[in-house]
Amino acid sequence: MAAVEPAVLGPSRVRGRAGTQLLRDLPWSDRLALGSLALITLIALFGPFFAPHDPRLAAGPSLQAPSAAYPFGTDNVGRDLFSAVLYGVRSTWLSALAVIASGVIIGGIVGLVAGANGGWIDNLLMRITDLFLALPAPILAIAVVVALGPSLAHTLIALAILWWPYYARLVRAEIRALAARPHIEAARLAKTSGLRRLTRHLLPGAIPIVIIAASLDIANLIIVLAGLSFLGLGAQPPAPELGSMVANGLPYLSTNWWIPIIPGIAVFVLSLVGNLAGDSLRDLVDR
């Protein structure tokens, strides 16, 4: 009988199995948090397609309490709150991810260039970063939105302007620490090009800490976005947004509690999931 050669697993399959095993080894609380993160992202992406009504139009009688027909009730003009919350979750969650992505890209480039080059380039970029960090971020964000005009796009622009310096500082510190390690010095002595050292040795080492910081930042951004929307500086009515829904429902708090409370609970759940998932991702990256 011919000998059967053992199957050889390719690198991608080995990494896939290792990643699956790593997830299985996580505590159940971390797996629950990461699963909740995936679920919220799916709801944000596809939830509005399953909304039973247009959240901008009246769907039935006004001020209806939660029921089988209207799971979250209706507001003062008869709009379905369940549909509005689905759209509001999409707006808030994807907006937070967009601001974080812009902060990671802009701040990452600034921190990478500053940390890798040092000298006057480092000093110049870090002084600019310090200038942005010294500004009162919430007040400046409000000022930018008021100057440009209240809208979701202008809110995101204002937050993107203010959010990158944190990542620039973080990436710069990590790059400087990595640059002092022996394998980077060995690559330099081997006359490896600066671009290759940057992309193959320095940048991959900074990615885990950026992922951790970005995941922990989701909850902060959700609160900031909801707060600006609550002040009327986000998407304008009748566009459904969680913060503005809470603000518009406050006069009905004592009589029709579900109008402000349910969107507020949605904000709380989003920020909680973001916070717990950030902690779980940190545990996963540290393993």
Residue 43 maps to a domain: yes
Q: What is the DSSP letter of 182?
A: H
Contact 104, 214 (CB under 8 A): yes
Coil vs helix vs strand at 80: strand
Contact 262, 72 (CB under 8 A): yes
Give the structural domain span for 232: 28-56+69-286
Residue 15 maps to a domain: no
Contact 156, 96 (CB under 8 A): no
Residue 2: predicted pLDDT: 43
List the structure tokens of 180: 């002092």
Number of domains the chain is built from: 1
Q: What is the pLDDT of residues 121-134, one digit of tens each?
A: 889 999 999 888 88
Residue 167 maps to a domain: yes
Q: What is the DSSP letter of 202?
A: I
Q: What is the pLDDT of residues 81-128, one digit of tens each?
A: 999 999 999 999 999 999 999 999 999 889 988 888 878 888 999 999
Q: What is the identity of the amino acid at 74? A: T
Residue 62 maps to a domain: no
Q: What is the pLDDT of residues 46-64, one digit of tens each?
A: 988 989 999 988 888 999 9
Contact 95, 153 (CB under 8 A): no
Residue 195: predicted pLDDT: 66
Residue 5 maps to a domain: no
Residue 16: predicted pLDDT: 45
Q: What is the identity of the amino acid at 185? A: E
**Confidence band, pLDDT 50/70/90 cuts, at residue 184:** low
Q: What is the DSSP letter of 22?
A: H
Residue 123 maps to a domain: yes
Q: Measured between alpha carbons, how far is 78 from 70 in angstroms, rounded to an integer?
A: 10
Work out the mean pLDDT of the chain and round it to a whole number: 83
How many Cβ atoms are within 10 Å of 198's Cβ, its own excluded? 18
List the structure tokens of 243: 């913060």
CATH number of the domain at 154, please.
1.10.3720.10
Instruction: Report the pLDDT averaged over residues 1-17.
Output: 42
Coil vs helix vs strand at 255: coil
